[in-house]
Structure 1
Amino acid sequence: MILLAIGVVLLGVFALRFRQERRRFSNGVLLLLGLLCVGGELVGSGTEGVGAELLFFFALAMSPLLVLVLAGLLMVNGVVMLRREGMRVANLLSLGLGVALLVPYVLLVVAVTAEWFVLGALLLAVVLVASYLGFVLAAFLLYSLVYGWVTRTDNALAIVVHGSGLLGDRVPPLLASRLDRARGIWQVDRAHGPSPLLVTSGGKGSDEKVAESTAMAAYLVEHGVPADEILQEDRSTTTRENLVFSRQLLARQGIDSRILLVTSNFHVLRTALLARSVGIDAQAVGAPTARYYLPSALLREYVGILFEHKVLNAVMCALMAAFPVFLAIYGVTQ
């Protein structure tokens, strides 16, 4: 019952914080911790004695197999990404992670030739660091889903569409999906009240013939949006700049709230977190993404989340890895 009580308290704190400000990554951590505590209590209450021991043993035995399956799936996805999207560093992420997940198994083979304390320390360090990183990933994926489900799209004063790159001067499918999502929201809001302003946000890349915002605006006009209801922000090269420059553009129109940010579904949570960090009163919604593209895209977002809190994450990983090493050293000296 203690675990259940802790879980209920954590979920209650999550609900309060979510109501106050949903654009916090810590909300996802509280939600996952609360669900794990409640779930652990429910599972424990239904499995007594040997049943609980068998459940633990089954989970322990299945973990290496699940990691191997995940590694295989990531490597297959990485190959698909390289074939469809070309040889770029970002497209190597899922392939690289799949290979990285196999490293502990290679280390295990090496470690079995050493003394037991070396093997134990090595495996425990790997497991603890991987568990921490896995927890953060699970919190990110869970809260991305929750945030995407609850964000409302009605009653916006402005809709900012974030660029994602052009093919020369053409809008590629990923960006077209964002524009179509924004146009759909604009049409619904327009039918029930004043039309929100549409902001196309994106500068000109070195391999692009025109600024993204120009091509995006042309796409919207071709699909029925009046040109005088579109503002173009043509200076940004990053998501943070998308937000800052779009805010400046909208401020000149007297708009500083009820702003909706449209990006791809994998990018929604991080966009919302960035909006909060730069002081924009805005929520984010996502557009559909091709399934083959999602694993690599989500991993990039996850890495971005880790990097934005790099000091905290580095300290946590160092502590996790140092603990079993300390135990091994202590054992040798005894």
Structure 2
Amino acid sequence: MRMVPARGRPPYDAGVLAYVPAAFFLVLLVVGVLRDRRRFGNAVLFGLFCVGLAFGLLHAAVVGVGGGHHALEWAVAGILLLPLLGALVLPVFLLSNGVKMIRKEGRRPANLLSFLAGLALVGLLALALAAVATRSPELVIVAGTALLLAGYVSFLFFCFLAYALLYGWLRPRRDVDFVVVLGCGLVGGSRVPPLLAGRLERARRLYAAQAARGRPPVLVVSGGQGPDEKVPEAHAMAVWLVEHGVPAEHVLREARSRTTTENLLFSRAVMEAARPGYRCLVVTSNYHAFRAALTARRTGVNGQVVGARTAAYFWPSATIREFVAVFFEHKLVNLTVCVTIVFLGAGAWWRR
């Protein structure tokens, strides 16, 4: 006996089809992660999967598929309210965090990022409200162009942030030959600061856990000597590890690097010389882990990256800084899209 859909409700298959884009991007994401989880393309696929899933839920609400399911209704309400809440709450959060960063860390440009991002969101919201209030064609075009640019950048930032959290959750399970610790500057020219101590403690715990299984890895501390430092970072890091119980013979020093790229390139050379065909883990701060993973892939390091915890107030500005760096690492694509949006806005202005 053939089942006939209820009047006013489309067949169940119509609701299922709404989730096809999400399923498609999920399959691509799984394949990408299995091939190499250290790819920014995986982040974009994860973002597209989330967008596809949101579309499916909204479609289900509109056509009535799954009606009566309160969990679905709450999910849809959350999807609809999220942009509004973000527009109202996020600027306040970023501004307050920016003030806290300035008080605790000083007024260096890198510490101003969350405050500047909050100001930019306030300005964008004011521009949109002014365009709606005045109904000025010119202002509508400017606001629309600005919103499109902000939407593109916001989507990429969401992809970066969401996948960075997912990447941090995907823990490597196999034993490794080396654990590389990335340096980040010394206090007073010779002392390990709390941020670097967090990385070293994470590496020490990884060492202890694997040593308990009978196969201790070698720790590679990576960091050169800055112009305001009395000793190379690697030397201070090695001393810290030995003082905290790691045998000196299980610590190697890479004391030439000045950047993350050099950290990984020079550390790779150390590991390849000591054990061809090595496997490693790289330890850095949690906000830096995904970008370090992208750099590790680019520099040919055979290993994943894990993050050490940092102070909560430090995380927003640091994450924005990491995103900006990744954005400009893919500047050809990103600037092409942004310039195209601006030209579209200019064309609309010219035709008005």
TM-score by length of 2: 0.86
Structure 1 residues 31 and 63: alpha-carbon distance in aligned structure 2, compared to 1, 3 A threshold:
closer
Structure 1 residues 154 and 61: alpha-carbon distance in aligned structure 2, compared to 1, 3 A threshold:
closer
Matches for 1:196-275 after TM superposition, within 5 Å: 196-275=217-296
Q: In the TM superposition, what is the alpha-carbon distance from 1:204 to its structure 2 partner?
A: 1.0
CA distance in 2: counterparts of 1:61 and 1:194, whole angstroms: 51
What amino acid does structure 1 have at the position aligned with 2:27? Answer: G
Q: In the TM superposition, what is the alpha-carbon distance from 1:87 to its structure 2 partner?
A: 2.1
Q: Which residue of 2 aligns with 1:4?
A: 19
2:173 maps to 1:149: no
| Structure 2 segments unaligned to the other structure (5+ residues) | 1-15, 68-74
Q: Check the 8 A contact 2:285/2:309 in 1, yes or no.
A: yes
Structure 1 residues 194 and 95: alpha-carbon distance in aligned structure 2, compared to 1, 3 A threshold:
same
Higher relative contact order (CA 8 A, sep 6+): 1
Q: Which residue of 2 aligns with 1:318?
A: 339
Match of residue 61, structure 2, among 35, 41, 46: 46
Matches for 1:1-334 after TM superposition, within 5 Å: 1-48=16-63, 63=83, 66-108=86-128, 116-152=136-172, 154-168=174-188, 169-330=190-351, 332=352
What amino acid does structure 1 have at the position aligned with 2:51? Answer: L
- SS of 2:212's partner is helix
Q: Check the 8 A contact 1:197/1:229 in 2, yes or no.
A: yes
Q: Check the 8 A contact 2:281/2:305 in 1, yes or no.
A: yes
Structure 1 residues 26 and 263: alpha-carbon distance in aligned structure 2, compared to 1, 3 A threshold:
same
Q: Check the 8 A contact 2:38/2:294 in 1, yes or no.
A: yes
Structure 1 residues 19 and 65: alpha-carbon distance in aligned structure 2, compared to 1, 3 A threshold:
closer
- What whole-Å deviation, never above 9, does each CA across 1:260-317 have from its counterpart, x for those lacking one? 1000111111111101111111110011111011001101111111010112111111
- Cα RMSD of the aligned pairs, angstroms, is 2.3
| Structure 1 segments unaligned to the other structure (5+ residues) | none
Identity of aligned residues (%): 42
Structure 1 residues 221 and 141: alpha-carbon distance in aligned structure 2, compared to 1, 3 A threshold:
same
Q: In the TM superposition, what is the alpha-carbon distance from 1:320 to its structure 2 partner?
A: 2.3
Q: In the TM superposition, what is the alpha-carbon distance from 1:59 to its structure 2 partner?
A: 7.3
Q: Check the 8 A contact 1:157/1:255 in 2, yes or no.
A: no
What amino acid does structure 2 have at the position aligned with 1:195? Answer: P
What amino acid does structure 2 have at the position aligned with 1:216? Answer: M
What amino acid does structure 2 have at the position aligned with 1:258? Answer: R
**What is the number of equivalent residue pairs in this alignment?**
327
Q: In the TM superposition, what is the alpha-carbon distance from 1:65 to its structure 2 partner?
A: 5.7
CA distance in 1: counterparts of 2:172 and 2:202, whole angstroms: 13
